[in-house]
Structure 1
Amino acid sequence: MSQQDLKKQVKKIISDHRTGVLSTVENNKPHSRYMTFYNEDLTLFTPTQVDTEKVDEIAKNKSVSVLLGYEDKGLSDTYVEISGTSIINDSQHLKKQFWDESFKKWFDGPEDPNYVFLEIQPETIRILNNHGEPLQELNL
């Protein structure tokens, strides 16, 4: 599969699956949790509160991993494994663009200073469990 075709397939998987697992590094060990992801041309964004462990962990080590795509269908689900780096993004434009009323459980609104995004810049994306095909890797 060409890198262009692979990129197209990765974008589809990411666009079709908003809930995934984010892993950061805490005391040299993985620390994972489920998050909601948005994407713009393979850059991922996930909302969070600025005063969380994951923000502290990323401040110490920007390396992250994300799993997206695996659902309740079982062993036949294709999914992506994304390795990259993350930064904190508090852009007001981004906060308004991705604001969802369900966020009111945690934030006062898009202007809430505690409402930020983790911006994840992929370095390597692997497609796994792709209908019996070998692992495919997209290097960015």
Structure 2
Amino acid sequence: MNELELKEKVIDILSDHKTGILASVEDNKPHCRYMTFYNEELTLYTPTKKDTEKTAEIEKNSSVSVLLGYEDKGQSDGYVELLGNATINEDQSLKERFWEESFAKWFDGPHDPNYIFLEIKPKTIRLLNLEDEPPQELNLE
């Protein structure tokens, strides 16, 4: 698979799978949780509250890992493992674009100041378990 095909396959998986695992660093140890993800090309966005431990962890150490995919058919599903850096993004147009009514459980609407996104810029993305192919790696540094 060439680099363009790899990138397209990764974007397909990122676009088709919204629930994944975000790992950040807490006290020099991994801290994992399920999150909802949106993507623009290879950049991921995940909504969260401004006043959570996730944001405090990322302010101390921006290194994160994300797993997405592997949901439908079990062991034969392709999935991605993304390593990158996260920043806090409070852009109002982003908040409005990705707003879902289900978020009303946690936020007062897309203008709630506590509603923010973590923006994740990948450094390395590995595509795994795809149609009996060996793992493929996309380096973005």
* TMscore range, shorter length: over 0.9
Structure 1 Cα separation of the partners of residues 97 and 79 of structure 2: 26
Cα separation, 2, equivalents of 1:81 and 1:124: 8
Which residue does 1:91 correspond to in 2?
91
Q: Structure 2-normalised TM-score?
A: 0.97
Deviation at 1:72, TM superposition (A): 4.4
| Unaligned segments of structure 2, at least 5 residues | none
Partner of 1:52: 52
Deviation of 1:84 (Å) = 0.2
The amino acid of 1:13's aligned partner reads I
Separation of aligned partners in 1, 2:132 and 2:99: 38
| Counterpart residue number, 1:108 | 108
State the Cα RMSD in Å: 0.7
Q: What are the residue-to-residue correspondences of 1:57-76 with 2, within 5 Å? A: 57-76=57-76
Query: What amino acid maps onto 2:108 in structure 1?
Result: D
Q: Which amino acid is the alignment partner of residue 103 of structure 2?
A: F
CA–CA distance in structure 2, aligned partners of residues 89 and 72 of structure 1 = 31
**1:26-56 Cα shifts (integer Å, max 9, x gaps):** 0111000000000001100000000101100
- Letter of the 2:138 counterpart: L
- Aligned match of 2:118: 118
4+ residue runs of structure 1 moved beyond 4 angstroms? none
Partner residue in 2 for 1:3:
3
The percentage of aligned residue pairs carrying the same residue is 67
What per-residue deviation string (whole Å, max 9, x for no partner) do you get for residues 77-114 of structure 1?
11000000000000011000101010000000011000
User: Aligned equivalents of 2:72 and 2:129: distance in 1?
Assistant: 14
Partner of 2:19: 19
Q: Which runs of 5+ in 1 are unaligned?
A: none
The secondary structure found in structure 1 opposite 2:99 is coil
Q: Number of residue pairs matched?
A: 140
Matched residue of 1:108: which SS?
coil
